Amino acid sequence: MSALFSNLFIFLLATFLGLEVIRRVSPLLHTPLMSLTNAISAISLVGSLTILGRAENTLSITLGAIAVVASMTNVVSGFLITDRMLKMFKTRTPGAGAAHGVIFPVFVLAALASGTVDVQSQWTTDLTYLVASGLFVMSLKWMNHPTTARKSVAAGELAMFMAIGGTLLALSNDPELTRLGHTPAYGYIAAALALGAIIGYPISLVPMTAVPQRTAFSHAFGGLAAGLVGTSEYFLGIGRTGDLAISNVTVGIIGFEVLLGFVTFTGSLIAFGKLAEILPGRPITYKGQNAVNLVLFAVAVVCIGGVVASPTTWPLYVGFCSLALLFGVLLVIPIGGADMPTVISLLNSYAGLSACAMGFVLNSPMLIIAGALDGSSGLILSIIMCKAMNRSFANVLFGAFGKPQERKALGEEKPIRSASAEEAAAILGNSTSVVIVPGYGMAVAQAQHKVRELYDALTKKGVNVQFAIHPVAGRMPGHMNVLLAEADIPYDKLVEMDDINPEMPQTDVALVIGANDVTNPDARNDPTSPIYGMPIIDTDKARTVMVIKRSMSAGFAGIDNPLYTMDHTLMLFGDAKKFVGDLVKELGSSQ
């Protein structure tokens, strides 16, 4: 019991440290942060390697191998795509590295390789884990600004390398293997690690517009690994007797780990399906849905309670696992596509907490620390997303927000003013200040590179161009920042909503590209609107507003946007990529 309280103490300290570090991360880097923590959540690889390396029976070998492949897929794809994203943010101090942060670990590894350190001693493994834990913390800390963010990947990769190395060292002196008279199954481990790396590499090469669905897909791998490791630990535990028999407390912790792991697994697959448009993006609801979910959750709790009371009742455990998998599906299907930033963040938090629970089961402080850091990151980003939408967690998870709303009778409809590319280019070229407001429509049209060309054309004419970034624009935290960085937009031109809004009344033109609800004035002015109270970018306060949009269709909230019928608004109908390209041509011909 003393070990449990020691681990709880570590968990609380790591959580508070994580919250303090994550809240300082620049909003510019929320998408790379999500990918980085996704890779760190693959610390479940430590537990997976332990299960596979012991190779106690066929079931543990099978579950352990799948868990290692899933975790290694996350490690490789997560770190590689994070590095890709961070390379897009042009720093003012190129070449700055993290050498000072890795000197000590390098000396440790050199000592191990030279034979001056006894690799069979427990302190070697503990020291390796300690340094890895510190590097995980520094990896997140360096994400607080684009100029230091590249160090984050180097620190995270080294930390994961040391975690894997420490685990292999621990297996070489594992008392459980000694008891069984076995040697570590290094062949199985090598094969599973190689397969995971082979799968992870192509996943890291997805286009930046597909990063949200890649992240959701990777969360599924992390959740699966945690659930399988917990399941393996459970079945191994109930086969032991005497002092080695599994305790009721351990079964309870395994239940928590497996619940979060399997909910993350199936929930992330549903989120991936919605983001990839394999499944409908709208909320999928039915009568009494929340009540059904609550009943299923209660039944799952009863099942795991029965297992805790009598650990050998494995049929109840199997039923519990099945309900956890089903609950993940039912939890996400009523959530609309544009709420995915919050959902992805929450699933990231769940993956971290499941790794934390694994640390309690395996008595591994490093697992607890890394899992708590990941859980803290997901929680902070979820809070930011909910605040940006003026919504609660309960409303996002259970509100089925995003259903089409009935149009209000407004009497005589106001006329819509539209303009051609030639007319719009003339207005833009004669402006002194332009604020571009990107949204999910820009991502769908893959127009970010044409937007860069527009930025260059206007800048050459002496126009001051800035980009207004809403926290929930896109399909994951910081999505617009990454897309614009991919197009080489200087990151100091990407301005957060709270900083740009005071400048909007002095702005000549606000050019909206694919954004809808985040520019809707009803959020400020109409108490009956479903989005009333949601912070928006004050595009309507600019002297002229231009909106590039395919049609007058409603946004995610399913409501009309009065911005489109205001007297100083011009609608630019067409595909965003093509229309922006036409603007660039017109601006070039007018020089």
Q: What is the pLDDT of residues 161-178, one digit of tens each?
A: 999 998 988 888 877 777
pLDDT of residue 146: 82
Highest mean pLDDT, choosing among 285-289, 340-344, 411-415 = 285-289
Domain limit, last residue, from 342, 365, 397: 397
| pLDDT tens digits for range 472-493 | 887 777 888 888 988 889 888 9
Residue 148 within a domain: yes
pLDDT in tens, 264-321: 999 999 999 988 888 887 778 888 888 888 899 999 999 999 999 999 999 999 999 9
Closest CA to 51 of 170, 160, 223, 179: 170
528: closest CA among 440, 386, 410?
A: 410
* Structural domain contains residue 255: yes
Q: What is the pLDDT of residues 101-112, one digit of tens each?
A: 333 444 444 444
| pLDDT of amino acid 558 | 56
Q: Check which CATH number belongs to the domain holding 446 and give it.
A: 3.40.50.1220
- Mean pLDDT score, 528-548: 89
Annotate 11-26 with b (16+ C-beta within 10 A) or e (fewer). beebbebbbebbeebb
CB count within 10 Å of CB 591 equals 8
Residues 354 and 488 in one domain: no
On whether both 24 and 163 belong to a single domain, the answer is yes
Q: What pLDDT, on the 0 to 100 scale, is given for residue 387?
A: 78
Q: Is residue 384 located within the same domain as residue 428?
A: no
Evaluate if residue 93 carries a pLDDT over 50.
no
Q: Are residues 208 and 329 both part of a single domain?
A: yes
- Same domain for 370 and 241: yes
Residue 7 lies in a domain: no
Are both 93 and 242 inside the same structural domain? Answer: yes
- What domain count does the chain have? 2
Q: Which residue has the higher pLDDT, 184 or 282?
A: 184
pLDDT bin (cut points 50, 70, 90) of residue 445 is: confident
- What pLDDT sits at residue 453? 94
Of the residues 517, 522, 540, 582, only one is catalytic, namely 517
Pseudo-torsion of CA 568, 572, 576, 579, nearest 10°? -120
For residues 429 and 379, membership in a common domain is answered with no
Which of 34-38, 46-50, 284-288, 571-575 bottoms out in mean pLDDT, i.e. has the lowest? 284-288
Counting residues of the chain whose pLDDT is more than 90, the rounded percentage is 43
DSSP state of 124: H
Same-domain pairing of 202 and 254: yes
CA distance 262 to 279: 20
Domain annotation covers residue 305:
yes
Same domain, 516 and 384: no
Q: Are residues 118 and 232 in the same domain?
A: yes
CA 321 to chain centre: 24
Kindly state whether residue 556 falls inside one of the protein's structural domains. yes
Note the pLDDT of residue 532: 82
What's the mean pLDDT when you consider all of the chain? 84
> What is d(CA 431, CA 176) in angstroms, rounded to the nearest whole number?
73
Residues 387 and 496 reside in one and the same domain: no
Q: Whole domain around residue 438: which residue ranges?
A: 421-589
pLDDT of residue 542: 94
Q: Per the domain annotation, does 403 fall within a domain?
A: no
- Given pLDDT bands bounded at 50, 70 and 90, which one contains residue 337? low
414 domain residue, yes or no: no
pLDDT digits (tens, 9 = 90+) for 449-474: 999 999 999 999 999 999 999 888 87
- Clarify whether residues 201 and 98 are in a common domain: yes
Instruction: With respect to residue 416, please indicate whether it lies within any of the assigned structural domains.
Output: no
Domain final residue pick, 332, 363, 397: 397
- Considering only CA atoms, give the Rg of the chain: 26
Query: Is 517 annotated as catalytic?
Result: yes
From 365, 397, 429, the end of a domain falls on 397
State which H helix or E strand residue 469 sits in: strand 464-469
